[in-house]
Amino acid sequence: MPKKKPSHSYCLGIESTADDFGAAVVSFDGKVLSNANDAYLPKEGGIHPREAARHHAEVSEKVLAEAFETASVKPREISLVAFSQGPGLGPCLRTGATAARALASYLAVPLVGVNHCVGHIEIGKLATGAVDPVTLYVSGGNTIVSAFEAGKYRIFGETLDIAMGNCLDVFARAVGLQQRKGAPFGAVVEELARKGKKFVSLPYTVKGMDLSFSGLHTAAVNAFESNKGTVEDICYSLQEVAFSMLTEVTERALAHTQKPEVLLTGGVAANKKLQSMLKVVADEHGARFCVVPLKLAADNGAMIAWAGILAYNSGISTPIEKSFVNVKWRLEEVYAPWVEAK
């Protein structure tokens, strides 16, 4: 493994866990200089892992070039390459990992494999100034309530089946909604939910600190198909039930840990209704409510670069021979010494 002491302090971050291929340049002092992205939009149905990986391979050169150009940083000025090592879809992860290994070898700089969930938490902390939050991380592939304790981000509650974002996406697809570039399914559901007038009863499933969304999704589709309300009413009811579940579990983690902040991160963090519900809970517990900015909410290269910088500065790097992807890499398996170092 080539070792070059950082002379220019920039990290290139590569994200490719699912539908997004992202590349970003972030400086070691935490400035996001670029954050380029190209999302795979399936013609029909959900994400096909091999199709998404093919998309990532096709756009990688363009996205990487854009990341360097926007940042006005040359590849030779990069001192670290970070990539999403997991969790995620195997073929997609491998495409990003291959690009990262090739670049790190070519540039003779260290490589660091980043846990995708850690990336979402750390970019939320960087962007909002949160130091020690209870984090609700909600995205297309994950739903996790966590807080830092004794060297690791501990999971207090998580989904037992599908993720929050996935629940919204599969519901939207089943009832015939269309997503657009810049308006993912979750945002389309949010738009419609604002016009909902009638609450349609749907199953609320919290088991201990864990959550289940698959029955809720099925019930919402059934409610639409049996005309229990307009699509706006069902979107409104789906959001009310799902977000109340998330808020309940987050509030319990907050009451238990007494942390000073609540951080909302991940693609679903863009949702204003969810933001407002969590803010009420944070206020009631005297905690500061922090939400990741929209441009850093969904999967992106900047969060990988920043988490890579934090890890590298704590002495962590990933030799190429150990850089295989880990599709089931859990958040609580990651030793995070940089958090304690604060």
The residues of the shown chain that bind ligand AMP, judged by CB under 6 A, are 20, 139-141, 165, 168-169, 184-187, 190, 266-268, 270-271, 298-299
Q: Are 239 and 193 in contact (CB under 8 A)?
A: yes
Beta strands in 29-160 (DSSP E): 32-39, 80-86, 111-115, 133-138, 143-149, 152-158
CB of 271 to ligand AMP, least distance (A): 3
The verdict on 299 binding Mg ion (CB under 5 A) reads yes
Six-digit token string for 288: 């500061």
Q: 250 vs 137, 153, 214, 278, 322, CA distance in Å?
A: 10, 15, 20, 8, 35
Q: Residues 6 or more apart from 129 whose CB is under 8 A from it?
A: 290
The verdict on 169 binding Mg ion (CB under 5 A) reads no
Q: Are 221 and 177 in contact (CB under 8 A)?
A: no
CB of 34 to Mg ion, least distance (A): 18
Compute the distance between CA of residue 323 and CA of residue 112 in angstroms, rounded to an integer.
8
CB of 145 to Mg ion, least distance (A): 20
Looking at the Cβ atoms of 107 and 130, the one nearer to ligand AMP is 130
Q: Residues 6 or more apart from 176 whose CB is under 8 A from it?
A: none
In the list 15, 19, 66, 158, the residue contacting Mg ion (rule: CB under 5 A) is: 19
165 binds, among ligand AMP, Mg ion, none (CB under 5 to 8 A by kind): ligand AMP
The verdict on 38 binding Mg ion (CB under 5 A) reads no
CB of 161 to Mg ion, least distance (A): 19
Looking at the Cβ atoms of 107 and 211, the one nearer to ligand AMP is 211
158 binds, among ligand AMP, Mg ion, none (CB under 5 to 8 A by kind): none
The verdict on 20 binding Mg ion (CB under 5 A) reads yes
Looking at the Cβ atoms of 165 and 308, the one nearer to ligand AMP is 165
Compute the distance between CA of residue 41 and CA of residue 25 in angstroms, rounded to an integer.
24
Q: Are 160 and 212 in contact (CB under 8 A)?
A: yes
CB of 272 to ligand AMP, least distance (A): 7
Looking at the Cβ atoms of 98 and 139, the one nearer to ligand AMP is 139
Compute the distance between CA of residue 342 and CA of residue 338 in angstroms, rounded to an integer.
7
Beta strands in 213-313 (DSSP E): 261-265, 288-291
The verdict on 15 binding Mg ion (CB under 5 A) reads no
Looking at the Cβ atoms of 79 and 237, the one nearer to ligand AMP is 237
CB of 300 to ligand AMP, least distance (A): 8
The binding site for Mg ion (CB under 5 A) comprises 18-20, 299
